[in-house]
Structure 1
Amino acid sequence: MDRLTDHLIVISFDCLSALDLPLLETLPYFRTLLQQGAIAPNVESIYPSITYPCHATIVTGNYPNRHGVINNTLLQPGRLSPDWHWFRDSIKWTTLYDEVKKAGMTTAALLWPVTGKANIDYNMPEIFANRPWQNQIVVSLLSGSPLFQWDLNKRYGHIRKGLNQPELDNFVLESTVDTIKTKKPNLLLVHFTDLDTQRHYHGFSSEEATAAIHRHNERLRRIIEALKDSGIYENSTIVALGDHSALDENKVLNLNVLLHKHNFITTNSKGKLNNWKAYCKSCDGSAYIYLKDPHDSATFNEIAQLLHSLKDNPESGIEQVLSGEKAAEKGADGTCAFMVEAQKGYYFLEDFQGDYLKTITQEDVTADKKYTLATHGYSPEKAAYSTIFIASGKGIHPITLPSIRLIDEGPTLARLLGVSLGETDGRVLEEILTI
């Protein structure tokens, strides 16, 4: 299979929405990509539409229940900060970077989700120290390419302020420019989270979110200039994409509070969870309900009755209740007992004490970053909730495709570099390629 490009730069602007297109058209570097390249202004995300499952889908071409990353975080009932699907072994399928490396090409990834300990030539994975005794830099070094990361941290680490934005993305940008100039990889995966952060903490259409998009335009400029300075721009393809959109909300649902009241969750004298029969695992705008014993039919029936009574109450915040089988049909985790979808304006957390429903203010968000004013994870079928895909450069035929699916991106990216991901859920978008 012939390669259509020599250098593929995939830039994920986390939480970039189809609704952002009018603004992107006014910004010079996004506008250049839009005018010269192919665009899909409506990309259907996956279920649940959250960052780690989405990024695993982008590099595999499969839905979560096939690639294995069915949520951002692991099922660890009672843990205040569950571990994330940081590591490559969470993905039960070949990936774009695996196939590109197998074909003898060089690969690089900067804060791309689910790449910890992946076989990537130049890898700075997205991972954070999740235990009091861990050091952030050491955790990163041990999970990626140590010398590569050490050099970037020496050069640009002063830019960072922990995980705060926009400083984190500014550090990623300098690392990206440096990697392009010094490594010239055939595949470069970059993940920017500035916009996602601002939307979470300030709202979808906030001034802070708009400012983040303007910063992304400047980041795009720097990447384009780096390609030109390196002499590889004419032989490169730039893909700018989003993984999901977001919706404003101001009400939290804590289904575990109800499960606790019904003794499906039990706690000790200090209020710590010590056992559970059923647990609500948040995916933000949706949630899985798991049974500790999947064969516990009595608990299953009681939970079903509870969930359907909530759904019948228009003030419960519950829009839809799916069986595990129905969730699997939508690409989500079929091992759950149920999957619940929040109404617009609501989202799920995992607290098992306190109130079932809490209204959120900006003051709550400022005081505790577990609260947000816009989020995702909802069904991709929700209205005005699609993301965007733009590709420009070598191997790309300028065209507008009215709509595509997130699962179509991986096979298409693989075809640009002359490799295949196998029989995927998605298809190659041959319409945009100069085959």
Structure 2
Amino acid sequence: MDFNRKQPVDRYVLVISIDGMANYYLQDPNVRMPNLRKLIRSGVCAEAMESVFPTATWAIHSSMVTGTYPRKHGVLGNWVIDRPGRRVGEHFGERLWNKADVLRRETWYDAAKRMGWTTASICWPVTRGADTIDFNIPEFYEQELFDTCCTPDLWNELKAARLPVDRYGEWSTDHARAPMQDWLTTEIAKFLIDRHSPNLMQLHYLLPDTYQHDYGIRSKEAYWALEYVDERIGEVLNALEHKGLLAKTNVFVMSDHGFINTSRTFYPNVLFKQKGWLKEGNMEETRVIAVSNGGSGYVYVLEDDPAEKDRLMREVLRALAESEGVGRLFEPEEFPSLGLPAPGELDEHRPDFAFEAELDCFVHFEQSGDEVIGRSAKFKGMHGYLPQHEELKAIFAAAGPSIRSGMTLPEIRIVDVAPTIARLLGTELDDPDGHALDDIWKEELTLAKLNPIHR
């Protein structure tokens, strides 16, 4: 249903994503997050939230905002093979594509703009070039992209306010200075609240993900990162209070995935090189190649002749099934059950096989070297595995004027979030895979109540 508002909106939604905060941290007494726990006490919290496969940031955040699985929205992971370009396709870092090139479904911020709301987004994946975001800083890792692809007027305002946005790129890649990135995200959020008061604002905090990759789960560094992000959330809520907007704001705090500790590395492309299917550094002559999505991988058979491709796929399947480090293998007919495209859908990026690594194993798509299995891991903590594992479950909490108090929801799915937020916008998203969490409202939210001018 499309309602085109002509009058200013005096309602607000704040969405915060804490990258990598596993659900098990909510029961951990070592996690000091008073602002999040206060929000949970005053609102609702899910027992857990199941993410999507692969449990990788770009795919998950696309599911989060559209309410659909990757099969529908089109962002299949952090990395894919782009068959038309015969290249590795990076969603990670927004280096190759604008949002309109790859995200095939309406998002909650698209719907908000359609409803006449002002929108803001800071460090949110798959937002490069999004024309429905009024104030937009996508999740980049190169300063040049920040300087050229963020909303120009906002970027100039931030510079004039002497916020160090010229350091965003450095702070996004230098893990020693990673807290500064989330600090800057918070300062920009506070600036936007004070100067522009956007009706819908989405923030993505990255530090817990960074430190769990570097130091492992339940490390002292991970605990500190969660506490640090909680302090930043408190600052944003205080800014809303100071502006007189908190009482009008429904706040959603969630994460995208959990974490597992890793101790080994699986190199599928080394395996394929040993089989003669991959020519190191030469995509034109490579017939089989894999990309990593952390604890899982996608395998592409780059063969045009149908009979030869069928023969080669059987060989690839056998080689993977016999390899150490591979936990579960998935053939194309199983993809829809994973939320991935079936044959004939999204063929430019759809893999020929997907696999989950064994749970202590990280998938690396490095081609050099001779080891198929490394007895150490580049990262101490990892995600990307199947979302049904308890360790990979995410968090969901919400509070605000429209939301009931002191309620615990049974486990939900991450695709339920977008239809729920669409309710607050006074509209619906087209054909979502999830369902609105209608039990959380203080009173029934109907389109007529939220849009009285359209009765």
Question: Structure 2 length as normaliser, TM-score?
Answer: 0.85
Q: 2:164 is matched with which residue? A: 157
Q: 2:388 is matched with which residue? A: 381
Q: 2:267 is matched with which residue? A: 254
Residues of 1 paired with 2:197 and 2:28: CA distance?
A: 31
Q: Note the C-alpha offset of 1:333.
A: 4.1
Q: 2:114 is matched with which residue? A: 102
Return closer, same or farther for 1:230/1:353 CA change in 2, 3 Å cut-off. same
Q: What amino acid is the match of 1:298? A: E
Return closer, same or farther for 1:5/1:23 CA change in 2, 3 Å cut-off. farther
CA RMSD of aligned residues (A): 2.4
Q: 2:302 is matched with which residue? A: 292
Q: Note the C-alpha offset of 1:244.
A: 0.7
Q: Note the C-alpha offset of 1:75.
A: 2.0
Q: Deviations over 1:82-126 (max 9, x none)?
A: 463722121001111111011111000001110000021111111
Name which of 4, 12, 17 aligns with 1:7. 12
Q: 1:360 is matched with which residue? A: 376
Residues of 1 paired with 2:304 and 2:441: CA distance?
A: 46
Residue 239 of structure 2 corresponds to residue 226 of structure 1: yes
Name which of 29, 34, 43 aligns with 1:28. 34
Give runs of aligned pairs for residues 388-403 of structure 1, distance below 5 A.
Answer: 388-398=395-405, 399-403=407-411
SS at match of 1:75: strand
Return closer, same or farther for 1:393/1:82 CA change in 2, 3 Å cut-off. closer
Q: Note the C-alpha offset of 1:305.
A: 3.8
Structure 2 residues without counterparts, runs of 5 or longer: 343-349, 445-455
Q: Note the C-alpha offset of 1:312.
A: 4.8
Q: What amino acid is the match of 2:171? A: G
Residues of 2 paired with 1:5 and 1:39: CA distance?
A: 26
For the 8 Å contact 2:81–2:89, the answer to whether it is kept is: no
Q: Deviations over 1:334-388 (max 9, x none)?
A: 4321111101100211112211111226xxxxxxxxx211111111122432001
Q: Note the C-alpha offset of 1:188.
A: 0.1
Question: Structure 1 length as normaliser, TM-score?
Answer: 0.89
Give runs of aligned pairs for residues 74-89 of structure 1, distance below 5 A.
Answer: 74-75=80-81, 82=90, 84=92, 86=94, 87-89=98-100
Q: 1:328 is matched with which residue? A: 336
SS at match of 2:92: coil
Identical amino acids, percent of aligned pairs: 28
For the 8 Å contact 2:93–2:139, the answer to whether it is kept is: no
Residue 423 of structure 2 corresponds to residue 415 of structure 1: yes
Residue 251 of structure 2 corresponds to residue 245 of structure 1: no
SS at match of 1:380: coil
Q: Note the C-alpha offset of 1:80.
A: 8.7
Q: Deviations over 1:220-279 (max 9, x none)?
A: 110110010000111111111001111111211111111112221124xxx555421111
Q: 1:428 is matched with which residue? A: 436
Q: 1:39 is matched with which residue? A: 45
Give runs of aligned pairs for residues 180-219 of structure 1, distance below 5 A.
Answer: 180-219=193-232
Residues of 2 paired with 1:245 and 1:289: CA distance?
A: 24
Q: What amino acid is the match of 1:62? A: T
For the 8 Å contact 1:74–1:85, the answer to whether it is kept is: no
How many equivalent residue pairs?
414
